[in-house]
Amino acid sequence: MKFLDLAKVYIRSGAGGNGAVSFRREKFIEYGGPNGGNGGRGGDVVVEAVDGLNTLIDFRYQQHFFARNGQGGMGNLRTGADGEDIILRVPVGTEILDEDEETIIADMTEVGQRVLLAKGGNGGFGNAHFKTSTNQAPRRANPGQEAIERTVWLRLKLIADVGLLGLPNAGKSTFLAATSNARPKVADYPFTTLHPNLGVVGVDGVEFVVADIPGLIEGASEGRGLGDMFLGHVERCAVLLHLIDGTVDEIAEDYETIIGELEAYGEGLADKPRITVMNKIDALDDELREMQREFLEEVTGGPVMFMSGASREGVTEVLRALRAQIDDDRLRRNAPEIDEEDDAWRP
């Protein structure tokens, strides 16, 4: 399945049906009177967040969504049928933006959340509605309300607990593949990851979601490389995991490059809780490890952890550090429960 995180759609609600002008014409009823029915209501355009989707690819092949109009009223006081609603099903984490791509109409953060984007028009009144004691044969009816037409943008921001950051080939995809069932592409050349990947990681009986985004390079905020277009997918994360290749010579400059791009992007990313990890330590001896750690701690002003995604050295410690930064209500616990009555284990 291809990944798409931005889509432009055109929507239109249904117009209301017109009211009818009609009179009773039975042979033996002397004063028949008006019997024109009301028009039906037009359909709404609704957006709904559903489970099981992680891309907006469906909106690449269909961009126009028009709800049905309400039917007009008929004689014998018959009301026209209502128009059917149109439901746009989007992944959880989708933002609905106005045509200017800045004004947020809704943020779909929960499964089952529904938002009305365009309300259908009400049906017009038939002439029976206007009958009064002084006007017993009205010959007018209301037209139905017009449809609402608008253009909106759908922007997906994946909902994950941990966001992976780093330069290309820092080992982000290797870490995700080693700790989850996700199978991102891993190779020895830059920009192996071309779109975000999600993986569910478990440690000490709990699980959380990790998001891997394409690597950043210096000038990404100005469009270099793949740019910073995917940083929006880590805006919702509780903690960022900054991986740095421990085998490079200028390790402190690599760290400052990523931090500079976060600050240029804004949206509070530079202020999020962040864990700095020196990766690929399986290729370093003990003396070089400590030397590289000293360089990093000097520029970060905080502790630096060791890890190797390939050999899994230090991976568990990193996962525990991430878990400590995630709120308890965001963790999914998998530990078995004990029945208090018979002390039997339940899977």
Binding residues for Mg(2+), by number, are: 173, 193
Instruction: Read off the tokens for 308.
Output: 């190797």
Binding-site residue positions for GTP: 166-173, 191-195, 212-215, 279-282, 308-310
Q: Which of these, 71, 89, 85, lies nearest to 120 by C-alpha position?
A: 85
Residues 57 and 6 sit within 8 Å (Cβ to Cβ): no
Antiparallel, parallel or unpaired: β 64-66 and 94-97: unpaired
List Cβ neighbours of 342 (8 Å cut-off, separation of 6 or more).
none
**Distance separating alpha carbons of residues 217 and 73, to the nearest angstrom:** 63
State how far the Cα of 102 lies from the Cα of 118, in Å rounded to an integer. Answer: 19
> Token digits for 92?
């959880």
Asked whether 322 and 163 are in contact (CB, 8 A), the reply is no
CA separation for the pair 164, 136 (Å, rounded) = 74
Whole-angstrom distance, CA of residue 154 vs CA of residue 127: 43
Q: Rounded CA gap, 104 and 92, in Å?
A: 15
Radius of gyration of the chain (CA): 30
Residue stretches of the annotated binding site: 166-173, 191-195, 212-215, 279-282, 308-310
Task: Count CB neighbours of 65 within 10 A.
Answer: 19
